[in-house]
Homo-oligomer: A and B are copies of this chain.
Amino acid sequence: MSKIKVAVLGATGAVGQRFVQLLENHPWFEVTALTGSDRSVGRLYGEACRWVLDRPLPEYARTMKVVPTEPGLDAVIAFSALPSDQAQALEPAFAQAGHSVCSNASSYRMDPDVPLLIPEVNPDHTALIKVQQQQRGWSGFIATNPNCTSTGFTIAFRPLHDLFGITKAFVVSMQALSGAGYPGVASLDAVDNVVPYIGGEESKVESEPCKMLGKLNASHVIDAPIKISAHTNRVAVIDGHTVCVSLEFNQPIGPQEAVQAMLDYEWDETVRSLPSSPARVIEVRSEPDRPQPRRDRDAGQGMTTVVGRVREDPLFQVKFVVLSHNTIRGAAGGSLLNAELLVAQGLVK
């Protein structure tokens, strides 16, 4: 079977680099185009790109020529690592031109006819793609993955919400520096410091999970009736977002039931067999002091959600800590898993 051709839009940025890295030796996909800004177009990727990831730049990409971010590329799937203003302008053109756009940008996440997708959480929401294509007259489509902070705890919420009905959630994040891209956060703001603010983040974290955990209803999603309050903070961690969560449910639930639900949940079989799906969707740790970002972010090659400290909450019912790799599961890896799901569902053409 021949591989599906894919492009990475905005390939020279920090998220673009993660796409390039994760697509190396992918069993289904073959990278045929890397796009960049005017400054980069025409240069070799290995030269145009200031590689910031810790493992080396994959050989396959080093000598590819960077092309402009314009529809008509020789690629079926277009992974978008574009900044949100560019994504806003360019992604519809790609979808109209027939590309399957799997986007990490926030621009269209909350559009009613655009799936905001985590394969383990709401694989059925891909049905919105037909609605989108009809309404917009596109042969391609846009599918999005959520904000890096929403990702981890929404995966942890899936079993709990299904079984017990979450009604209220407090979420407080301690987010990694890589979430701000490169150069991103100044070192003078990071060392011996916490910045208790990330622009635009809290509103995303308070709304995206409700769409993902919502129910599909013909042409749109009915948001899950969960009230979320978020505090988002930047800490001196390279990769891995740590989130403290307190939850209230529709029914009396304790830590024991919550752990059991996360361990026993039967995830969608199609999803579990996708190439980028981790061995365990959720890992629940029992040590008192885990998860920790440096020690747990690479679980499942950065695709596993790690939960720990599940305990009673004196105000709500249950509280715990969730850790998720923000630039793998929370960005490029999440988008890649979305593409795999869409291929498996026959929606990529």
- In chain A, positions 153-198 with a C-beta closer than 8 Å to chain B are 168-170, 172, 174, 177-178, 182-197
Question: Beyond A52-B188, A188-B52, A191-B177, is A229–B242 a contact (Cβ under 8 Å)?
Answer: no
Q: Do residues A238 and B191 form an inter-chain contact, with CB atoms below 8 A? A: yes
A227 within 8 A of B: yes
A90 within 8 A of B: no
- Closest Cβ neighbor of A246 among chain B residues: B229
Q: Do residues A194 and B292 form an inter-chain contact, with CB atoms below 8 A? A: yes
Q: Do residues B244 and A196 form an inter-chain contact, with CB atoms below 8 A? A: yes
- The complex is assembled from copies of this chain, and their number is 4
- Alpha-carbon distance A316/B178, docked complex (angstroms): 31
- Alpha-carbon distance A183/B227, docked complex (angstroms): 37
A314 neighbours in B (Cβ, 8 Å):
206, 227-229
1/0 contact trace for A299-339 toward B, CB 8 Å?
10000000011000111100101000000000000000000
1/0 contact trace for A38-59 toward B, CB 8 Å?
0000000000000010111000
Of B189, B193, B197, B199, the contact of A237 (CB 8 Å cutoff)? B193
A to B CB contacts below 8 Å, 5 in the list: A192-B237, A195-B289, A197-B309, A231-B244, A235-B235
Residues of chain A at the chain B interface (Cβ within 8 Å): 52, 54-56, 168-170, 172, 174, 177-178, 182-197, 199, 206, 227-229, 231, 233, 235-238, 242, 244, 246, 288-295, 298-299, 308-309, 313-316, 319, 321
